[in-house]
Amino acid sequence: MSGIASPRLGGALYHPGMSARVLLVEPNRIVRAGIRAELSRNGAEIVVEAASGDEAIAAAASQKPDVVLLDLQLPDKPATEICATLTARLPETPVIILADRGQESEVEAAIECGARAYVLKDAEDLDLGAVVKRVLAGESVIDPRAAAVLIESRRGADEAKLTRQELKVLRLVAEGLTNPEIGRRLYLSRHTVKEYLSHAMRKLEVSNRVEAVRKATELGLLEGAPRPTTGLAYNRTGQPARSSDLKVTPLKIDQLRTVSKNDQSR
């Protein structure tokens, strides 16, 4: 029999006319019912449903689905973390992220976590059955609106090749937030924040968060921080910076170093 290799390691051949076994991760019961009905009309079988990230990980381990449909908004854990866990444990099982309007900016974080597709649920021409078939055939699918955001973010960060998420973390570092505080702001775990910060420091070729903020500012990568012609000047007063000051952060340098030491000890 001819067909396409199954996304599951050691699995049988997947034929486009055969039913794909789907794990649906969606907290809303009514939305799950609608997706189930649409996929059933397109030859896909939802073998198990999950309403949270923890349920999704457990279900994936027991059912070994062909593909995972993962809603971006989960009640217990960030969907990007669940996506990363699923792709690490089941690398041959593609993950499709289902996002709402206004969440286009999260596409880069989703792709970095291993998602094979990123679609917006309000798209008039969205055909989930076709998306499932395409990712099972080895393709990647990104909604045009999300793709435009992704291209723009990579263009803006091209000089240092920092991702959008790494830049978000650095901006919050510049505001003086600790890793746990950044995690709460961005809905990431402390470990994930440390990973993003570590990647940013490596790309910027610096050894600590203070130098990372300094280098990113010099490159003009942080909002509100134009490239200085001389050395970097911080607003040390704690008051709003004058127009002649470099508007990086009202945090003092020594305070930023204290934050760095505290995070390193965690």
Q: What is the residue extent of each domain of the chain? A: 4-152, 164-264
Token digits of residue 46: 């939802």
Q: How far is CA 10 from the centre of its chain?
A: 29
Tens of pLDDT along the chain (266 residues) come to 233 334 443 333 344 444 789 999 999 999 999 999 989 887 788 999 999 999 999 999 999 999 999 999 999 999 999 999 999 999 999 999 999 877 777 888 888 899 999 999 888 888 899 999 999 999 999 888 888 777 766 555 455 578 888 889 999 999 999 999 999 999 889 888 998 999 899 888 889 999 999 888 877 788 654 333 333 223 333 333 333 232 333 333 444 455 555 555 55
Closest CA to 158 of 227, 109, 247, 219: 219
The reported pLDDT for the residue numbered 51 is: 96
Fold classified for 164-264? Arc Repressor Mutant, subunit A (1.10.10)
**Residue 161 CB burial class (10 angstroms; 0-12, 13-18, ≥19):** exposed
Q: Which CATH architecture has domain 4-152?
A: 3-Layer(aba) Sandwich (3.40)
Closest CA to 250 of 231, 233, 227, 229: 233
Evaluated on CA atoms 57, 59, 62, 63, the torsion sign reads negative
The reported pLDDT for the residue numbered 251 is: 38
The reported pLDDT for the residue numbered 54 is: 95
Same-fold call for 4-152 versus 164-264:
no
Task: Name the 3-class secondary structure at 68.
Answer: strand
Task: Name the 3-class secondary structure at 182.
Answer: helix
The reported pLDDT for the residue numbered 172 is: 94
